[in-house]
Structure 1
């Protein structure tokens, strides 16, 4: 990386200063709390006792000064995780774990998402973060590595958000903030508990004019949770609803546009008024019953529906092709699922032994319509019908895992999950020039995992894990055939991955650190084959490898000073030669990609460091810095988004009194006004790969919680 700009030198100096302090004192990987029992491996355990790489973020204790519009704001200190806010609320933020998930142009692939145990990833492997209730979040768990495979399809990693419970005495919370580019949010929360009953109700509204031209957006999110406990039984009911109307989409920029004016939207975005509207509602219930002291039964059921309407910038001439699906997507997607889990705690050879056995069934339907995005000479409106189909994907999974402690300082975990996933598509738009494209495909996989941990002392744990996982193409990736013919590409195979990791964890009091080496070898890697005329087709590109190292630390550095650090080195490459398309238009892949070429969207190194002065009450100051190395933007690796280092700072005042607590804050992001690409659209057919990050921005806010009299 070249550092010709003094602001870059200052950013790196801040990063190295804080990182050096973190190296001098053992510290913690994000926030691994003493009394938190993580559920990432499906049974509650202290994270320092699990033979797997797990990070836990206590979102209430870890002060974050911002508008809370993005999950990515909470994740820079998690090693192996790359979360990027796109300055484009018409497209979900990007999230990848150890290089899995970076091929997604929208939504999230390769990473499983959950909110209070309810899947936010559909059976086909595509997930969304837009309905995550950050205002009500209590903690976020991130599971990296082989044990992710126990969650089934597309589990290159697992991210779970857990919301707070009700409290007594009753608590009422309010939050308000304003920021640059006309951004603002207002939210409220009610928490209460009575005997064996508690509940939480939260409502949050966010709006922004957008950093870029044509990027205005708003979101309103409701989240509610009720817990009812009686004797040995607990029932939890969670409901949430999202409304995000007419989020404008400025689309990506090519290199020249990005460098000349990062705030601009391309002409096609303005002419077609590209935008997306999303609404979603869902409800889920979890019933846990202790049959006796050793046996517990857990039942989960959920259902919801997501409505999406998106206006694209597909040229009118392109839609003259009788096989075109038009330029407006209208999608109604109901989904539902159930999961039953039985847990038995016993002994084996007079040592603690625990078994978990479960089955799950998930179903996702899609009533998909496509329309032309013009009426005569008028662009950006709904026109004639061009596509109508019913899609259905069903996943039936069976899983089992066992944990045994053959000695006080040893632990063994073994598990397996079998998945049977069926995709079915029924074509309802059939013409002379557009034949019936109905069809189906099924995928089967068995994913075993094995982990071993050794604790030579209460402060240290050494661990190693191995596992196999798989990832099917999503319905969007099956949608088109690369040969230009009509109908879904049911010839795509699922990607299969073997992964290993080995590491060491340290914790003493509030100080902890973690170091992990990992490697994942994939066959039939899924990647883009062609991208032209509004259609992106996918192919299996042979073998790929992701390998690297992660280190994280967090520690008190004095009575009122804390340091935090995370570092990831990741080498992600294709291992086989294959062909792709370059240029537009392109109907046949003819450009070679050589073995050893880096995977697009994956930086070789990311680093994060932060210092915070102050306690929960009184004045405080925070300084943080993040570095991301150059990012390949396409399969042939002929262009890269430049490396960058950005620095942010915030200050505020926290207060706690007999009737409530709160804080006010002022935050500055991108302190040195660095111009950089915050995210990239990998393999974009028109070479518009770049989504610019905002320049220097400001945010100010106030939060308060009232406590009812006892």
Structure 2
């Protein structure tokens, strides 16, 4: 079948379904609220998604619930431009628009927040998959550099929000699946005139597909809000206990003959990692007048971890906290904000081999981000944003193991300024066009700044990049169909690559320049929607094409110019 016939068939399909969907017993006001009145705040100002001057993907609670609630990758893949490598429940890596693929075992180019509380550690590691999906009411993802708002995080941002309900309710769930996977959770919500409390407790246990692959996770997540005429007070609390065996990676020959096998050395020591984690935050919002508001969040975080490995054992932990403040102004034609985010963590780690201490260190990490943004609406159709941020990061290493010499030191990175400009033109409720350009950066983690000998590499630079994007949003057939499409280009310099020297020794290097070009498409289609049986049926499909390559990179005399960056699919469809 040639291309014109395919296009005609697809168009006929949607016209037929929308003719049926518009005859369902839901009035126009309800259908408008259902598909179009989506309010997002990932760009720091509460704005209808139709008027946001940039690419942002949003999943509401019902869309998140369409998965089994156990695999974060299934949820993220329902949004274009995002790919999540998932080896096990506890081994994942998120890549947004090709950024973040060169991290070995985790996500460290994406910044994550829970109810506006940073859950990304000060070394840049994000593990949003630690949060049980049953505890997420909404998810907003900014794709591409957003350092002008959130600081270090070249790939983008994942903003998570706990559910909010105006009803008193309780629910429970028990699941059983393959590989002896058992999940149980219970949640409840209490609401009065000015008080809302919500809580969720869950437990997941799975033997896994492979050898040495058992996973156990217990978590508690709770949030609440107390509202008064001139202020409101919110809290967020997350507690977690995890124990996960590590099958590690195997070669292709063994995979073809015995795909369930674990790596022999990890299986021999029954390698695993376990950790306990706590995050708590309080947010005070003051309404000074109809135009002025201030939102202050104070938070603390703690983690204790142990990992048994075939080459040595790692015992580490983190304690710290910080604050995030946003002063905002709103009028008919202007929105403006000025904000500050500061985090400070103390990270300690030690390694032992055959019950003998071989390394012990303590790190202090400080991150500062001062940001501002202005949104100007000269008319109802236009929304123009411009702003930027000033960022500063410091690391201090204290060597507490004297047998191999004192390798203490400091790394004070230079101040980085990240500007951003965006424009959105929405001539009607059916069509919106947007364009944006923004700068972003990612700092090397403290571990990446260490040379193999343990000294601090003062020549390692932050990776920086600029993104250019164009996009369109369409609401068709009385808003029963939503279409979004965007094209982008990201130019990176000093790409950070983690280079493996031995099985347990890694170091960071700058890999010159890379280019990331892509096209994203998403469609949300309401087929029918009934208030009673059979309920509602919707389609959410997306497609991403991307081309990610080295432009200028030479390592050990080998030239990689023009080569594709590994670990990034060229085509993704779901």
Say yes or no: TM over 0.5: yes
Q: 1:387 to 1:306 in 2, by over 3 A?
A: same
Identify the residue that residue 355 of structure 1 maps to in structure 2: 336
**Residue 250 of structure 1: which of 247, 251, 261 is its match?**
247
Give the deviation of 1:19 after TM superposition.
13
Query: Aligned partners of 1:307 and 1:43: how far apart in 2?
Result: 35
Does the CA contact (< 8 Å) of 1:309 and 1:328 recur in 2? yes
Deviations 1:101-143 (A, max 9, x none): 1122222111111111111112332211243232121111111
Identify the residue that residue 102 of structure 2 maps to in structure 1: 103
Alignment of 1:368-447 (within 5 A): 368-372=349-353, 374=354, 383-431=355-403, 434-443=404-413, 444-447=415-418
**Higher alpha-carbon deviation: 445-454 or 55-64:** 55-64
Does the CA contact (< 8 Å) of 2:440 and 2:465 recur in 1? yes
Partner SS for 1:412: strand
**Higher alpha-carbon deviation: 361-370 or 213-222:** 361-370
- The structure richer in helix per residue is 2
Is 1:233 aligned to residue 231 of structure 2? yes
Query: Aligned partners of 1:21 and 1:90: how far apart in 2?
Result: 40
Give the deviation of 1:65 after TM superposition.
4.3
What's the TM-score once normalised by structure 1's chain length?
0.74
Deviations 1:263-314 (A, max 9, x none): 1012101212211001101210111111000000110110010111011121
Deviations 1:210-232 (A, max 9, x none): 11011001000101112100112
**Residue 452 of structure 1: which of 396, 419, 423 is its match?**
423
Query: Aligned partners of 2:14 and 2:561: how far apart in 1?
Result: 41
Identify the residue that residue 328 of structure 1 maps to in structure 2: 313
Unpaired runs of at least 5, structure 2: 1-5, 19-32, 530-535
Deviations 1:19-76 (A, max 9, x none): 975895499xxx994333101100110111101111111123554242x222212122
Partner SS for 1:85: strand
Deviations 1:170-227 (A, max 9, x none): 2111011000001010000011112211101110000001110110010001011121
Identify the residue that residue 597 of structure 1 maps to in structure 2: 563
**Cα-Cα RMSD:** 2.2
Query: Aligned partners of 2:319 and 2:86: how far apart in 1?
Result: 27
Partner SS for 2:426: strand
Query: Aligned partners of 1:297 and 1:558: how far apart in 2?
Result: 42
Q: 1:498 to 1:24 in 2, by over 3 A?
A: farther
Give the deviation of 1:561 after TM superposition.
4.6
**Residue 540 of structure 1: which of 510, 522, 546 is its match?**
510
**Higher alpha-carbon deviation: 176-185 or 57-66:** 57-66
Identify the residue that residue 503 of structure 1 maps to in structure 2: 471
Higher relative contact order (CA 8 A, sep 6+): 1
**Residue 269 of structure 1: which of 266, 269, 294 is its match?**
266
Identify the residue that residue 294 of structure 2 maps to in structure 1: 297
Give the deviation of 1:145 after TM superposition.
2.9
Alignment of 1:696-707 (within 5 A): none
Give the deviation of 1:404 after TM superposition.
0.3
Identify the residue that residue 490 of structure 2 maps to in structure 1: 520
Identify the residue that residue 552 of structure 2 maps to in structure 1: 576
**Residue 442 of structure 2: which of 460, 471, 478 is its match?**
471
Unpaired runs of at least 5, structure 1: 1-16, 315-326, 375-382, 580-589, 609-710
Query: Aligned partners of 1:451 and 1:189: how far apart in 2?
Result: 40
